[in-house]
Amino acid sequence: MERITFKEAAGVYNALKQGQNYVDQCGLDYKLLELIYMRVSQINSCAYCLDMHFKKAIHAGETPIRLLSVAAWRETDYYTPRECAALAFAETLTRMKAEEPSDHLHDELNKHFSKDEVANITMAVVQINSWNRLVRSFGTVPGHFRVQEKTANV
C-alpha cells in the first residue's frame, strides 16, 4: 500500500496551511485551541495530531492531567465554563449529522465568546477536522513531532 504524502500534495498542504495561519493569528487563546485540537483528534482517532498537539500544549504550559482528561471533560472540574462551551461545540460540529440542531450550543457559546470568537472557534474546528482527515488518509506516522519555538505559537 502506497499512500500520498504532504510532500507530493504540496498544493493541498499549502491551502490548508493558509487556513491554519488564519486560526493561529485570530486571537483565540492558544491553550483553548490546543484543548479543542486534542478533543477533536481523539474523536477522529488521529494519533499524529494527538502526539503533536499534546507536545505543543505541554510546551505552552498546559498540564498533562487536563490534556489526558479532555475526552472526559464533562466528568471533571478541570475546565472553565468557557472551555466547556467550546469543547461541547467542537464535539458536536465534528460529529454533527445534517439534521442535528445546534442552537443550544450557540446559546452557550454566546455567553462566553463574541460573534467573531465563535466564528474563529468554528474555523479552528473545521481546520483540525481537515488536518485529521488528511493526516489519516496520507498515513503520516505519529511519534516523531518535535516542538520548535516557531511552531509553538505562544
Q: What is the predicted pLDDT for the residue at 35?
A: 98
State the average pLDDT over residues 14-35: 96
Angle at 76 between CA 75 and CA 79, to 5 degrees: 125
**Average per-residue pLDDT for the chain:** 91
For the beta carbon of residue 132, count every other beta carbon within 10 angstroms: 22
Residue 12 is placed in which grid cell? 493541498
Closest CA to 20 of 153, 139, 114: 153
Average pLDDT over residues 2-19: 87
pLDDT one-digit tens code per residue, 72-92: 999 999 999 999 999 999 999
Domain 22-139 matching CATH 1.20.1290.10: the answer reads: yes
Domain ranges across the chain: 22-139
pLDDT value for 154: 40
- Kindly report, residue by residue over 90-124, the tens digit of the pLDDT: 999 999 887 877 788 889 999 999 999 999 999 99
Contact 102, 96 (CB under 8 A): yes
